[in-house]
């Protein structure tokens, strides 16, 4: 498959915990200062909408992740 023909999967980004994602992909982050949940779309500025803090943490996944040791 050529690089131009590849289409990225969208199910990994939409976990069902976001509220009204609207057009485009949104990702949920947690503010490092006020602990508010912040929804950001691709291209949005990295800033909390409540307090203006610029450090956001990505929410931990709820899926089971298991690695095989070799």
> Is the model more confident about 11 or about 33?
33
Between CA 15 and CA 26 the distance in angstroms is: 10
The tens digit of pLDDT for each residue in 9-30 reads 665 445 555 455 456 688 999 9
Rounded mean pLDDT, 27-45: 92
Closest CA to 28 of 40, 43, 36: 40
The tens digit of pLDDT for each residue in 41-56 reads 988 999 999 999 999 9
Can you list the domains of the chain with their CATH numbers? 1-59 (2.20.28.30)
Between CA 68 and CA 49 the distance in angstroms is: 40
Between CA 18 and CA 31 the distance in angstroms is: 15
Rounded mean pLDDT, 29-48: 92
């Amino acid at each position: 498959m050529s690089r131009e023909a590849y289409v990225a999967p969208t199910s990994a980004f939409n976990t069902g915990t976001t509220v009204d994602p609207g057009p485009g992909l949104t990702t949920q982050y947690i503010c490092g200062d006020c602990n508010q949940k912040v929804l950001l779309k691709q291209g949005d500025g990295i800033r909390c909408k409540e307090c203006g803090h610029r450090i956001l943490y990505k929410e931990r996944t709820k899926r089971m992740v298991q690695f095989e040791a070799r």
